[in-house]
Structure 1
Amino acid sequence: MKVRFAPSPTGLLHVGNARIALANWCLARHRGGRFLLRLDDTDTERSKPEYAQAIEEDLRWLGLDWDERIAQSDRLDRYAAAAETLKAAGRLYPCLETEEELAFKREQRTRQGKPPLYDRAALRMTKEQLDRALANGKQPHWRFLLSGVAAEWQDGVLGRRSVKLTSLSDPVLIRADGSFLYTFTSVVDDLETGITDIVRGEDHVTNTGIQLDILGALGGDPRKMRFAHLPLLTDADGGPLSKRTGSVGLRQLRRDGVEPAALAGYLAALGSSADPVPGMPAELAASYDLGKVSKSAARFDMRQLLALNRKWLHGLAFDAVRDRLPDGATEPFWNAIRGNLDLFREARDWWDVVAGEIVPIGDPADAELLRIAAEALPEEPWDEATWPAWTASVASATGRKGKALYMPLRRALTGEEHGPDLKTFLPLIGRARALRRLRQAATG
């Protein structure tokens, strides 16, 4: 088995791309196959080196590596050779219509109640007419002559699929400026690099029918190529997943603090009946199964992703995060806060609570409680027994209990209304900080 992930470096990766990359990678690793990263960068105007670099960085962040890497911009000679093969076989023919002329033809056919297909008028052009046009400076674009059959395959997700080629226009494979289109270059690469399985989005089903025809014309055996098309993602309400906001871009998710294990686990289970389990791709590959993916569109719900993110963070051991924590952070600190984290970056805020300065929150109605609490604060050393013993003495002296007792103390000590269990957190804050904050809250 050999699979490929073929992004175009014309922008940053989004979760739809990541899902396809993850599916290919897990499939290859599960079956002992190879994974090819191919940069489809023949669009020279929109492709940027910085996007190519960002794609590779984001894939590595997600836990994906590759056995081979190629760029289409390095293979232009291979496409030119393949084009000559198709020309010699009569399957690639020159066309001279302008965009305006083609638009007019489509409009006329639509008015006549006919499908707006290309009429193959260029096939009726004589050699003399073509030579005269070329001599006058016209540059042709080149179309692939589709066969009159239906392209059929057993899809790994969607089941039996068929594309009736007679209902499609002959696709343009080479533009008038000589540049090659994805429809063509992808087939040449898949054939020459030995790709056996293509896993991509459902929006490519029609492309698959066309590309199987091109594959056969280039001498390949379409029966040896396996396909699986994943249904497209929608938002939580079932609508189109918007990319304009950048909210589902991998780079933005990274900035927001989403863990790669949470995203990988969520995407691996998305669209299947399996409950998502956070984990890196190397862990997920063993159980990955395309056969479990539904034929229906999958809903990407940010709330579910963040819930998985919390689950992952809450289970991480100190050694797994030591290098990411603020300098000086200890294992007791991590164990105290990890159950309260939605995103890892919040660890920095809790470190400020135990090792830095905060603004304590005090209410005039709680001033007397806080003064008594400050006076009753025991001497160190402190341990997990300090908090219950101290609050018991404050309760006895003030008559306060429950939320009326604990909330003012938490706000004064941490500046927050919710957070880690103060039984384990108070010893980390220490007596000097605790006393200073209680006094400040009582007078503030």
Structure 2
Amino acid sequence: MKLRFAPSPTGRLHVGNARVALINWLYARQQGGSFLLRMDDTDEERSTAAFAEGIEADLRWLGLSWDEFARQSDRYQRYEEAAERLKQAGRLYPCYETPEELSLKRKALLNAGRPPIYDRAALGLSDQQRAAFEAEGRRPHWRFKLAHEAIEWTDLVRGPQHFEGEKLSDPVLIREDGRPLYTLSSVVDDAELGVTHVIRGEDHVANTAVQAQLFQALGAEVPAFGHLPLLTDAEGKGLSKRLGSLSLEALREEGVEAMTLNAYLAALGTPEAAPAVASLSELLTHFDLSRYGRATPKFDPSDLKLLNARILHHTPFEAVAERLPGLDPQTWEAIRPNLETLQEASAWLAICHAPIAPNIEEPDFTLEAARFLPPEPWSEETWGEWTSALKQATGRKGKQLFLPLRLALTGLDHGPELKALLPLIGRERADKRLRGETA
């Protein structure tokens, strides 16, 4: 089994692209197959090396490694050879209509209440007529002659699919400038590179009907196809790579964890909630392609934010140690239950181990609290012992007791439990902060 992800390097990946890549990757790994990354870069005007590098960086960030790599711009000769075989078989024919002429034909058909299917007028041209068009300077585009027969397959997501060949328009495979269109290049690549399963967006369903016949015309086996409903944003609007809609680059900068995004995207479109998993291998145990439905899934950043916190709260020290210099297991255990993003951990590291300016609102009370600090060594029981002694000595309780201590020790009115933070701050630093000194 071989699956592929075939992005066009005309922009950075958004979450809709990433979901397709992830589901292909998960299915390949679950079935013991391989995963191909193919850059569909034949749109030379908009494709750039920078976007291609960015796509690879995004996939690596997600952990979606590939077993093979291909680039369509390296394979033009293969498309030319495939086109020549189709011409020799009478399945690829030249057409000389201009874009304006084709537009008029479409409008006339639509005005007559008929589908805008190409009328195959070019098949009736004589050699003399074609020569006359060539003499005018017209260069043909080339259409694939569809067989007027039933096209059927059992979709991996949508179930049984049925199209009638005569109700589809013969697709253009070669532009006037000789460059191949996606319909041809993708089929040639899938056939020659051994792709057995194609999972992509449902906007390709009609294209799949055409490509099924193209595979057969080239003497290749038709892959198994699955078409996923397209992802929208929380308001139901479509996503766009060129508009930067919910790009992976932006989410990464906002502090979203790669596994948060993987878990969230893998669950979208299924009845299950996103699991708080720490690795792709763990996510694989939850993956089931048959659970994806036909309803349109919506990407909600607020849900992603909540999941990001849940995953961080369960992330082991070993998974973040290299990303946070100076972090130790005890500090991580203390601060992780309070994090929404890993970026917040740096501030808590400083509060525990570096000088900060305390926030003193009641200097008389905090000065007295300093006198009650017990000797070290400290443990998580130290906070309870210290505050119990203070409560007895001052009569304070609840917020009146705890808030001034938190402000003095951390500079903030919120955060991780102080029973965990106090041993990390240490007696010397705590004493100075309670007395109003930067420490």
Partner of 1:198: 198
Partner of 1:26: 26
Partner of 1:440: 436
Given that 2:58 and 2:248 are in contact with CA atoms closer than 8 Å, whether structure 1 keeps it comes out as: yes
Given that 1:340 and 1:419 are in contact with CA atoms closer than 8 Å, whether structure 2 keeps it comes out as: yes
Q: Are 2:134 and 1:134 aligned?
A: yes
CA positional deviation for 1:236: 3.4
Partner of 1:270: 268
Cα distance in 2, alignment partners of residues 330 and 247 from structure 1? 37
Letter in 1 for 2:266: A
The counterpart of 1:344, out of the listed 321, 342, 367, is 342
Partner of 1:292: 291
After alignment, is 299-308 or 176-185 more displaced? Answer: 299-308
CA positional deviation for 1:376: 3.1
Partner of 1:303: 302
Q: Are 2:310 and 1:314 aligned?
A: no
After superposition, the Cα gap between the structure-2 partners of 1:102 and 1:359, relative to the gap in structure 1 and judged at 3 Å, is: farther
CA positional deviation for 1:280: 2.6
After alignment, is 369-378 or 227-236 more displaced? Answer: 369-378
After superposition, the Cα gap between the structure-2 partners of 1:239 and 1:48, relative to the gap in structure 1 and judged at 3 Å, is: closer
Cα distance in 2, alignment partners of residues 109 and 341 from structure 1? 60
Cα distance in 2, alignment partners of residues 271 and 129 from structure 1? 53
What's the TM-score, normalizing by structure 1?
Answer: 0.92
CA positional deviation for 1:247: 5.5
After superposition, the Cα gap between the structure-2 partners of 1:399 and 1:194, relative to the gap in structure 1 and judged at 3 Å, is: same
Cα distance in 2, alignment partners of residues 400 and 241 from structure 1? 55
Deviations 1:62-105 (A, max 9, x none): 11112211111110000000111111122111122222222222
For structure 2, the residue ranges without an aligned partner over 5 or more in a row are none
Cα distance in 2, alignment partners of residues 305 and 348 from structure 1? 21
Q: Aligned ranges for residues 359-374 of structure 1 at < 5 Å?
A: 359-363=357-361, 366-374=362-370
Cα distance in 2, alignment partners of residues 244 and 140 from structure 1? 30
CA positional deviation for 1:229: 0.9
RMSD of the alignment, in Å? 2.1
Given that 2:14 and 2:239 are in contact with CA atoms closer than 8 Å, whether structure 1 keeps it comes out as: no
CA positional deviation for 1:115: 2.3
Report SS of the residue matched to 2:407. helix
Partner of 1:415: 411
After superposition, the Cα gap between the structure-2 partners of 1:288 and 1:361, relative to the gap in structure 1 and judged at 3 Å, is: same
Deviations 1:240-276 (A, max 9, x none): 4466764521222222222222222222222112332
Cα distance in 2, alignment partners of residues 215 and 242 from structure 1? 29
After superposition, the Cα gap between the structure-2 partners of 1:280 and 1:319, relative to the gap in structure 1 and judged at 3 Å, is: closer
CA positional deviation for 1:37: 1.1
Partner of 1:73: 73
Report SS of the residue matched to 2:436. helix
CA positional deviation for 1:379: 4.3
Partner of 1:280: 279
Partner of 1:331: 329
Q: Aligned ranges for residues 157-236 of structure 1 at < 5 Å?
A: 157-222=157-222, 225-236=223-234
After alignment, is 134-143 or 405-414 more displaced? Answer: 134-143
Given that 1:362 and 1:441 are in contact with CA atoms closer than 8 Å, whether structure 2 keeps it comes out as: no
After superposition, the Cα gap between the structure-2 partners of 1:82 and 1:243, relative to the gap in structure 1 and judged at 3 Å, is: closer
After superposition, the Cα gap between the structure-2 partners of 1:76 and 1:241, relative to the gap in structure 1 and judged at 3 Å, is: closer
After alignment, is 145-154 or 37-46 more displaced? Answer: 145-154
Letter in 2 for 1:398: T
Q: Aligned ranges for residues 83-102 of structure 1 at < 5 Å?
A: 83-102=83-102
Deviations 1:281-329 (A, max 9, x none): 23333452211111222222223322222222212222222211133x2
CA positional deviation for 1:339: 0.9
Given that 2:11 and 2:241 are in contact with CA atoms closer than 8 Å, whether structure 1 keeps it comes out as: no
Report SS of the residue matched to 1:157. coil
After superposition, the Cα gap between the structure-2 partners of 1:136 and 1:238, relative to the gap in structure 1 and judged at 3 Å, is: closer
CA positional deviation for 1:343: 0.8
Given that 1:264 and 1:280 are in contact with CA atoms closer than 8 Å, whether structure 2 keeps it comes out as: no
The alignment of Structure 1 onto Structure 2 pairs a total of residues equal to: 437
Report SS of the residue matched to 1:10. coil
Partner of 1:430: 426
Cα distance in 2, alignment partners of residues 98 and 104 from structure 1? 10
CA positional deviation for 1:226: 1.0
Letter in 2 for 1:185: S
CA positional deviation for 1:381: 3.7
Letter in 1 for 2:400: A
Partner of 1:146: 146
Report SS of the residue matched to 1:160. strand
Given that 2:14 and 2:240 are in contact with CA atoms closer than 8 Å, whether structure 1 keeps it comes out as: no
Letter in 1 for 2:180: F
Deviations 1:195-229 (A, max 9, x none): 1111111111011011111112112243xx21111
After superposition, the Cα gap between the structure-2 partners of 1:241 and 1:54, relative to the gap in structure 1 and judged at 3 Å, is: closer
Given that 2:12 and 2:241 are in contact with CA atoms closer than 8 Å, whether structure 1 keeps it comes out as: no
CA positional deviation for 1:415: 1.9
CA positional deviation for 1:190: 1.0
Given that 1:326 and 1:348 are in contact with CA atoms closer than 8 Å, whether structure 2 keeps it comes out as: no
CA positional deviation for 1:432: 3.5
Cα distance in 2, alignment partners of residues 180 and 243 from structure 1? 22
Q: Are 2:125 and 1:125 aligned?
A: yes
Cα distance in 2, alignment partners of residues 263 and 276 from structure 1? 10
After superposition, the Cα gap between the structure-2 partners of 1:243 and 1:404, relative to the gap in structure 1 and judged at 3 Å, is: farther
Letter in 1 for 2:314: G
Report SS of the residue matched to 1:153. strand
Given that 1:143 and 1:174 are in contact with CA atoms closer than 8 Å, whether structure 2 keeps it comes out as: yes
Partner of 1:257: 255
CA positional deviation for 1:189: 0.8
After superposition, the Cα gap between the structure-2 partners of 1:44 and 1:312, relative to the gap in structure 1 and judged at 3 Å, is: same
For structure 1, the residue ranges without an aligned partner over 5 or more in a row are none
Given that 1:264 and 1:279 are in contact with CA atoms closer than 8 Å, whether structure 2 keeps it comes out as: no
